[in-house]
Amino acid sequence: MARSQQTFSKKEREQKRIKKRKEKAEKKEERKAQAREGTLENMMAYIDEDGNITDTPPDPNKKKKKIDASTIEIGVPKREEIVEEVVREGKVTFFNDSKGYGFIKDLKSQNDVFVHVNGTLEEIREGDKVTFEVEQGLKGPSAVRVKRYVAKPKPAPEPESDSETSDENADKTE
């Protein structure tokens, strides 16, 4: 008699395959049973009047709030343009000649502004009063077109002339 061609390992593999098929069929039946429970009504989501997601449908008897559509703003409201002085005055609080940078304290806003030697029109030192313009640099505001501030001399007040002296001068010219 001829021996069976199936060995122990072949039989074992066949049993594993059959077992996997049964498990797969059971999982499929389980999913079908759960799918019946997952009706459209259970999957529905509603949004309440405050914009929150909820699973309960809205009450049709409840009064709704009236909203005036003209009060709704879409987008960002326009900002008022802030007009800043182009040329500012300040005092050099720190300046390192060897490294070529420093800081200027704006006299009006009391903010410190970075200054580099490349942004200066003339040589500046610590303690100098300067005029400058502010531009946005890589790391923040930076002073450019910096030059020493020279106070404009005030016009000398004219000497008060007496009415008598002006009359005398007028008589001499005639």
Nearby residues of 108 by Cβ (< 8 Å), 6 or more positions away = 85, 88, 89
Quick check: is 110 in a domain? yes
Quick check: is 106 in a domain? yes
Quick check: is 83 in a domain? no
Domain containing residue 142: CATH number: 2.40.50.140
Tell me the three-class secondary structure of the chain, residue by residue. CCCCCCCHHHHHHHHHHHHHHHHHHHHHHHHHHHHHHCCHHHHCCEECCCCCEECCCCCCCCCCCCCCHHHCCCCCCCCCCCCCCCCEEEEEEEEECCCCEEEEEECCCCCEEEEEHHHECCCCCCCCEEEEEEEECCCCEEEEEEEECCCCCCCCCCCCCCHHHHHHHHHHHC
Quick check: is 128 in a domain? yes
Domain count, the chain: 1
Question: Tens digit of pLDDT for each residue in 24-46?
Answer: 999 998 888 776 666 677 778 88
* Type of residue at 96: N
Q: Whole-model pTM?
A: 0.41
Quick check: is 117 in a domain? yes
Range of the structural domain that residue 125 is part of: 88-148
Quick check: is 130 in a domain? yes
pLDDT band at 14 (very low <50, low <70, confident <90, very high): very high
